[in-house]
Amino acid sequence: MEFESPKYHNEIVEDLMNGKFILSKEKHFEELKEHSDYYKAFFEKSFGHDFIFLLDFAYIVSPETNENLSRDICIFLAILCYELDKEGINFLDKIEYGDFSLEEVDKYFENSSFTDLIQNNNQIKDFDAKRKLIKTMTTKNIIEKNSEDRFSFTAAYRVFIDFAKELAENRTISLEQKDN
Amino acid sequence: MINEEPISILRFLSTYFDIIRDLFITQKEDRIIRRETFEIICNKNNAEGIRKTLFKYKIVKQVQDDYELRDVYYNLFEFILFEFRPLLPDEIEKYGQSISELFRKIKEGINSDKNILLDRITALSEEVKKFSEAVDKNKIRLLSETRELKANVKRIDYKEKIQRASHWTDHYILPLNKILDVNHSESITNKLFDISEFANQKRLNFDDEKIKSQFERLHKQLIQTNDDLRLNHKTFINELLPLIERIKTESLILTGWIEFLKNPYRIDTPKLFKTDRNNATSTKMYLSTKEYFELYQNVEDAYIEQEEQQPARWIFNKSVYKNKLNNSLPITNFFDWCENTLQKEGVLTNEKILALTTLLFEEELSINENLENETTEIKTINSKFIVPIIQVNKNGI
């Protein structure tokens, strides 16, 4: 029996199973888009994973989550957004359209008032740790390196930004319920 | 009446521009120029004598104990500094009412007094102009306010930012959008379309040339106004509303992050796929397997001591078996005797058979092999021996 699969099947499965976000600019995204139903069924029936396909990126999730990495990224992004806003920079524009130098990021974290949080997190506590986290995010396609010391965020950043938005909305709802 | 040359007034405005601008800003913020503030501003830059000229040129007038810029100068500075006060939609909507009322009267009195009709057309044209200017000014002001809010020049708190953004949206942008929306039946833009249509007909078929030409002018003005309004509306839809939405979103995200940073280890973060080391499609599979095997290379030998007792080892005691053999003589088949003797002592092994065979070489024994070359079989636990039938007797008499 011959096994039929979409083009780039191996790359698609390998990338997603390695926890990577597949971005719209990648060659296998179009194939993924065309066969999104196939991959939804494929990942669910083969491994019990959820395949999530969005406008400009796709990824998979399973009940077992990489909790530490997710939390480290959230802390990193939360502090970065906060510090950018403090400097009067539109953080959403900067994350969406701009790029960052490693030196600039170090500066924001050095001047941050979240000292305890930074010192107690092994992934952001110093320069080397932050570089390691940035490297990990690069392997997951959350960040892309533009040069040796510059990087920008990919569309996958929205997973985390949406999380923050949802958190704020839930908080507003619970405060309203309390008031009533 | 001002008895001065207009050019002198303009020169004065130019020379003392900074001072008059300061007076304008003060009035814009406080709605009046307090006497003390007026003195401070006028005394700036050694501008002695300016006070007198401000009154002489009727730029400033006294209001009880305080002062204010006359409307014409206030409006001039408002215009050249682009410092418009944002108009409330209600203030703009009043033009809609006056335009509707004038239009109704023009239609009703189209065959009445021609002079009144001409005056009404002129008045309508004026109102349309004022309406269009009010919208334009508001667009400029709202864009500037929103951009300033977005750039956060004043470094205001994110909560205040969201409040201000909501204020601009709810009280200014959305109602103004409604006024301009051509798809909204009650919008002023829609009314202007109707008037334009009416003016178009009348400019072609009205019998009085003067009125015909007034309708012609009104029609052209309305075409221009509708184009301007369309562009302004486009700015609202494409720039102002998304800008406001973005400010709100940004502030919401920041609220969420601050909430998260209060307790980052107690809140469930977004799910991220956890990679499986043993995933067969993983490129790391080869290295992982190699690493796994290397873990067990060069490992020292380990011994496990068994606790259960080993069975006693069989030891060939030659004299014991020699005695047994002597007591059994004469024997017609030596290997039968070996088998019978050893069966009483556990399992029959090759070692036991071969050990007993050594007895055949004892000197006091006489051995006769069967002449007819008959053989017999002995089965041990792991072999089968085919051996000759040997008779054993005592040697000698």
User: Cβ of B273 and A49 within 8 Å?
Assistant: yes
ipTM over 0.85: yes
Distances (CA, A) of A1 to A4, A41, A45, A47: 9, 20, 19, 22
What's residue A178's pLDDT?
A: 67
pLDDT given for residue B114 in this prediction: 86
* Buried-exposed string B188-225: b where 16+ CB fall within 10 A, e elsewhere: bbbbbeebbebbeebbeebeeeebeebbbebbebbeeb
- The chain-wide mean pLDDT, for chain B, equals 84
**pLDDT for the residue numbered B353:** 85
Residues in CB range of B207: below 8 A, 6 or more apart: none
Chain B CB within 8 Å of residue A171 CB? yes
Distance CA B264, CA B386 (A): 86
pLDDT, average across residues B48-65: 87
What pLDDT is attached to residue B3?
64
Contact A85 B152 (CB under 8 A): yes
B266 close contact with A: CB closer than 8 A: no
- Give the bridge partners for A58, in sequence order: A22, A53
DSSP string across A48-92: -PEEEE-SSEEEEE-SSB-HHHHHHHHHHHHHHHHHHHHTT--HH
CA B119, B124, B129, B133 torsion-angle sign = positive
Q: Is pLDDT at B202 greater than 70 in this prediction?
A: yes
Nearest Cα of chain B lies from the Cα of A6 at a distance, in angstroms, of 16
Q: Give residue B299's pLDDT.
A: 65
**Does the pLDDT at position A22 exceed 90?**
yes
According to the model, what pLDDT value does residue B381 have?
Answer: 84
Q: Tell me the C-alpha distance between B239 and B245, whole Å.
A: 10
pLDDT of residue B119: 93
DSSP string, B345-385: TSS--HHHHHHHHGGGG-TTEEEEE-TT--EEEEE-SS-EE
- Per residue in A146-170, pLDDT tens? 998 999 999 999 999 999 999 988 8
Tell me how close the Cα of A9 comes to any Cα of chain B, in angstroms: 11
Judge residue A105's burial from the number of C-beta atoms within 10 Å of its C-beta, 0-12 exposed, 13-18 middle, 19 or more buried: buried
Residue B83: pLDDT over 90:
no
Question: Prior bond to B330 cis, omega within 30?
Answer: yes
Q: What is the pLDDT of residue A113?
A: 86
Record the pTM. Answer: 0.55
Residue B283 confidence class, pLDDT cut points 50, 70, 90: low
User: Residue A135 — very low, low, confident or very high, per pLDDT cuts 50/70/90?
Assistant: very high
pLDDT for position B298? 67
Chain A residue with the nearest C-alpha to that of B281: A14
Give B317-370 pLDDT, tens digit per residue. 888 888 888 888 888 888 888 888 888 778 888 888 888 888 888 877 888 776
pLDDT digits (tens, 9 = 90+) for B105-155: 999 988 888 899 999 999 999 999 999 988 888 888 888 888 777 776 666
User: Could you tell me the two tokens for B152?
Assistant: 């956060």
Chain B residue numbers with beta carbons less than 8 Å from the beta carbon of A78 are 257-258, 260-261, 264
Q: What does pLDDT average to over chain A?
A: 90
A160 touches chain B (CB under 8 A): yes
Q: What is the pLDDT of residue B185?
A: 78
Interchain CB distance below 8 Å, A91 and B254? yes
